[in-house]
Structure 1
Amino acid sequence: MFKDIVLAVTPSAICENAAEKAFSFAKLFDAKLYLAHVCGLEQGWGEIEYLESSGATARIKENIEAYYKDRIAGVPHCEIIVRAGIPHNEVLRLARQKNADLIIMGPHTKEYTEKRSRMWGMAGSTLERVSQRASCPVMIVTNQAPAAQRFGHLIAATDFSDQAECAVSYAGQMARHYRASLTVFHVLDKGDLDTAALQAAQADTVARLREIYEPRLAGIANHDFQCLVGDPAMEILGMSQRTETDLIIMAHHSKEKDPEQAFLGSTVTKVALNAACPTMSVNKHFDLRCGLMYDQTGQAVSAEATA
């Protein structure tokens, strides 16, 4: 399904969960995997020339190769790329150059555990910028997930924006490809509505979900639409726990029309930082590059078997 994967990585345990997911996908899908590390510009613009001329980038590449040596050996197509520059620019440039269909990222700070409530909330952070401008979906992996990926149940949250419609469509492609179940839902703000009005609003919302998204979910045997009430991030996390979700798919920002002005929404931030499963950020319409079909255990299935 994924053919060219970019993993933004550091040679340490900080990105271990994201790395495990990337190596697992590369083996499962026989995909090309690009381990990308970008030396930032903490010392100023002159640091780029210094890092390259001093051989620092070559040494970092050797460190990465040594750190991931055993796992690299199990991936037929793996390349380590170390560059000096602005991290989000270089990750995005590499994804374009390699025609990547997935970027995988995790936390890139040693203070992640203590500061995760604030992490990625700052405008201009690497993850925000990559999610904002990526030419492919971005999978955010912050917690440990099964290495052998099983896509049995997916959830897609929507706020009815154009970007959310792209996220739901992508979720539909994945559910159809894996023959997985899919729940599409919207979270209402209770506001000042009384019980009767709230129940009516929920029923209307479910009807709207079905009207808008049902045509995009043709061929998915097990899918449903729900409307929840409360805080969006908390309800999405609750839904993922109750349904033992394998992947959460969301638009990378809310109703901001100009992607150049939009950053990772607070709801996506909270979900990505706290979800037990990976969160996929989708910012536009993408098509899966599907060769084989896969069942819910991740095993390849012949075309005849899927007919």
Structure 2
Amino acid sequence: MFKKILFATDATPVCEIAAKTAFELSEKYGSELILVHVVADFFQGTCPFVPDMPGKEKTLSVPEYTAFVKEGMKKNYGFLAKRFGDPEYKVIKGKSWEEILKFALKIKVDCIIMGAHAQKEASAEKTLQKVAQKAHCPVLSIARPCETSFWYFNRIIFGTDFSKASMSAFQFAYKLADYIGCKLHIFHALDIESSGTGDIPGQKQIEDQIKEAKARIEELYVSQMENFDNYDMAVWEGIPYVELLKFARETSGDLIVMAHHTKDIDSEKAFFSHTIDQVVFRSACPVVSVNKYCNFK
């Protein structure tokens, strides 16, 4: 399922958390693992992987600089490499999100793993946003240590709003669940306050909407799953990201799969919707975003 995994790291604490998942996933699937670090300039400032790198008193060539950084990466992730095997290390100069995307496309990776930085970290957050927007493979983001994952994965949750953008996310979630042989939960949250009128529907109306949503799940998704029957579907009402996170917690979900954006808008202009943005930064388990460029049919 994952023949080649790319882990993009900037040496921040949240990337240390994501690193463990990257190494463990590569071991489970026998994947080739590549660690990439992008620097803005080979000779500007101190590299976070090599805090004691020689300064202006010694001018380093590009190969020397790259070698220093690679050694720093190997030292930083040595405890994981010792347990799970040595990955390939790559140091690239340029704009982070552009170089990650170009390199991922060049070597044809099946998954990109990144740390989900706090929203106040604007530069790092933008990198994740842009990579998720344009990547030709699923992007798995991790914000905190995974408490529920056990040998990746046992319970996959696919969150949908029935948009066109959600279909690629469904295909990935279904194919992965079928490949692993794990449980697939298909989840939809009725946003009962999204009408903008301020009118809260009555209980009968909510129940009718729940029935309608379940019928749409059957039509759009269950009909495509052939003989796969290890699934269930749930429709809750409330604030979508809150309900999805609650559902993941109550079911001990260890992977959430969503579309990169959850509205029928031009994906070239779309960044994370409010729902997936909140899920990514609040989830206790990894979150995969899938965009229109990913094809799993």
Return the TM-score normalized by structure 1.
0.82
Q: In the alignment, what sits opposite 2:257?
A: 249
Q: Which amino acid in 2 is paired with 1:3?
A: K
The CA RMSD measured in Å over matched residues stands at 2.6
Q: In the alignment, what sits opposite 1:155?
A: 157
Q: In the alignment, what sits opposite 1:305?
A: none
Deviates more, 1:70-79 or 1:189-198: 70-79
Residue 286 (1) aligns with residue 273 (2):
no
Q: 1:57 to 1:202 in 2, by over 3 A?
A: same
Aligned length: 275
Unpaired segments of 5 or more residues in structure 1?
A: 45-49, 109-115, 289-307
The correspondence for 1:60, drawn from 64, 69, 77, is: 69
Q: In the alignment, what sits opposite 2:210?
A: 202
Q: In the alignment, what sits opposite 1:136?
A: 137
Deviates more, 1:143-152 or 1:85-94: 143-152
Q: In the alignment, what sits opposite 2:191?
A: 189
Q: 1:252 to 1:149 in 2, by over 3 A?
A: same
Kindly provide the CA deviation profile for residues 247-296 of structure 1, in whole angstroms up to 9, marking residues without a partner as x: 000001122432211111121111111111100011134339xxxxxxxx
Distance in 2, Cα, partners of 1:76 & 1:123: 28
- State the 1:205 CA deviation: 1.2
User: Retained in 1: the 8 A contact 2:14–2:142?
Assistant: no
Unpaired segments of 5 or more residues in structure 2?
A: 45-58, 194-198
SS in 1 for 2:131: helix
- State the 1:58 CA deviation: 3.2
Distance in 1, Cα, partners of 2:174 & 2:127: 28
Q: Which amino acid in 2 is paired with 1:92?
A: L
SS in 1 for 2:271: coil
- State the 1:195 CA deviation: 1.3
- State the 1:76 CA deviation: 4.9
Q: In the alignment, what sits opposite 1:4?
A: 4
Q: In the alignment, what sits opposite 1:126?
A: 127
- State the 1:35 CA deviation: 0.4
User: Retained in 2: the 8 A contact 1:179–1:220?
Assistant: no
SS in 2 for 1:136: coil
SS in 1 for 2:246: helix
Q: In the alignment, what sits opposite 1:82?
A: 91
User: Retained in 1: the 8 A contact 2:116–2:125?
Assistant: no
User: Retained in 1: the 8 A contact 2:146–2:285?
Assistant: yes
SS in 2 for 1:144: coil
Distance in 2, Cα, partners of 1:185 & 1:71: 34
- State the 1:241 CA deviation: 0.2
Q: 1:53 to 1:153 in 2, by over 3 A?
A: closer
Distance in 2, Cα, partners of 1:205 & 1:148: 31
Q: In the alignment, what sits opposite 2:282?
A: 274
Q: In the alignment, what sits opposite 2:229?
A: 221
Residue 70 (1) aligns with residue 79 (2):
yes
